[in-house]
Amino acid sequence: MESWYDKEEDVLNVEISDDEYWKSIELPNGVVIDIGKKGTITGIEILRASKIFSGDVKRVIEVARKEPA
């Protein structure tokens, strides 16, 4: 499992699985779910992450920034 945050784009990405990518589903709240060919969730991308993660939960972004890209 790997996560990263792109400050310029304000996107938090969490990769859950290395299953081969099939398609993405964008939810109305700015969350994108990546689905693998086996039907599993392979990743979650959160658009406008700094607006969603504020206050104490903003640590999620801070920790993701420290992860290697």
Looking at the structure of the chain, the number of domains it has is 1
pLDDT at 52 over 70: yes
Q: Which one is predicted more confidently, 60 or 12?
A: 12
| Dmax (CA) of the chain | 37
SS (H, E, C) the chain: CEEEEECCCCEEEEECCCCCEEEEEECCCCEEEEEECCCCEEEEEEECHHHHCCHHHHHHHHHHHHCCC
Q: Give residue-wise pLDDT tens across range 22-46.
A: 999 999 999 999 999 999 999 999 9
Domain that holds residue 54: 2-66
Residue 54 has a pLDDT of 72
pLDDT at 4 over 80: yes
